[in-house]
Amino acid sequence: MTLQLLLSPAAVSRGTGRELGGARLGGGAPAVDWPEQAISAPLLGSTADSLRETWLADGPVSAGVSEGIAWRRAGDLLYGVVELAEAGFAGAGIPPLQAASRAAYDRIFRLLDAQGLPCLWRVWNYLADINGETHGLERYRQFNIGRQDAFLDYRRGTTGNVPAACAIGLAGGPLSIAFLAGPQPAVPVENPRQVSAYHYPAEYGPRSPTFSRGALVHPPGQEILFVSGTASIVGHRTVHPGDVAGQCRESLANIAAVVAEANRVARSGDFSPGELVHRVYVREAADFPAVRAAFAELAGEAPGTVFVQADICRADLLVEIEAMAVHPLAPTGR
């Protein structure tokens, strides 16, 4: 059951029946009948108001809704989207965002167990006001507590073999989480230039973020490299504060390091930076020309690159970049 990622104008909403799920970036667009994460953030440098990223499967697709998670399954691949309003968790005795993130991941793990597909491969997290402080704690740190609590609830490890992920701030809206899962664990990939996020020191919050820098996953006949949201961090410190072009270059250097580490264990042959599909988050719209120039300097005119205005998980980070690529995989591997 192979996968293909299709990028199209969001006005194109007619399905083929092969859609596993995806994301809609930008403004309003016609609704679709497959699980689609709505990322309500301005597109930068695009002639379209909104774009669709859609995962297409090459076989039959089944669908369902479980505890508010809209999901589709193709063979042993599962894609789902859940949105939770924080207001529904007021009065829980803990910050509503923390309670909502724990509940969302609890529901995801219950669905994975029910489907017999226990392994999270890639997760996309979006939350409002990510750098804001409520209940005496930054909201991103509240999210990290709730996420890790759910991993512990369902006896998932919180270090090592954890999914690739991003956590991005939007101007408003619910906690939104999309995920791709499968039957076997991903192969986690870390970055030798950075401390693994799950080993961050306590100065970054009561609980460390639960994600790997990258992951290799293996649908039948394929190898997919997911590079998590990557920013201008060396070790565990932000570098190039206030320099958006410098941060963009450092982010791409970190992505190159993740790709190099992935190639040490990849079964399908080496991934090259030029084949990556990128999503670039820029905190300030006015910084877009500088980011685009710095990105093109190192990555060229990479096909499928989408620039989005959104907030990053640290207030001093101005850019975050995620990436992915797909290779065919021979039955005997490499």
| Domain spanning 3-328: CATH superfamily | RutC-like (3.30.1330.40)
pTM equals: 0.96
Q: Which residues contact 191 (CB under 8 A, 6 or more apart)?
A: 213, 214, 254, 257, 258, 261
According to DSSP, the β-strands at 277-282 and 306-309 are parallel
Residue listed under structure tokens 């190159």: 256
Full pLDDT tens readout for the chain, 334 residues? 588 998 888 776 667 889 999 999 998 777 899 999 999 999 999 988 899 999 999 989 999 999 999 999 999 999 999 999 999 999 889 999 999 999 999 999 999 999 999 999 999 999 999 999 999 999 999 999 999 999 999 999 999 999 999 999 999 999 999 999 999 999 999 999 999 999 999 999 999 999 999 999 999 999 999 999 999 999 999 999 999 999 999 999 999 999 999 999 999 999 998 899 999 999 999 999 999 999 999 998 777 899 999 999 999 999 999 999 999 998 654 4
Name the residue type at position 43. Answer: L
Alpha carbons within 13 angstroms on the beta-carbon side of residue 125 total 29
Catalytic residues: 320
What's CA 121's distance to the chain center, in Å? 10
Distance (Å, whole) CA 15 – CA 310: 28
Sign of CA dihedral 274, 280, 285, 286: negative
Sketch the domain layout of the chain as residue ranges: 3-328
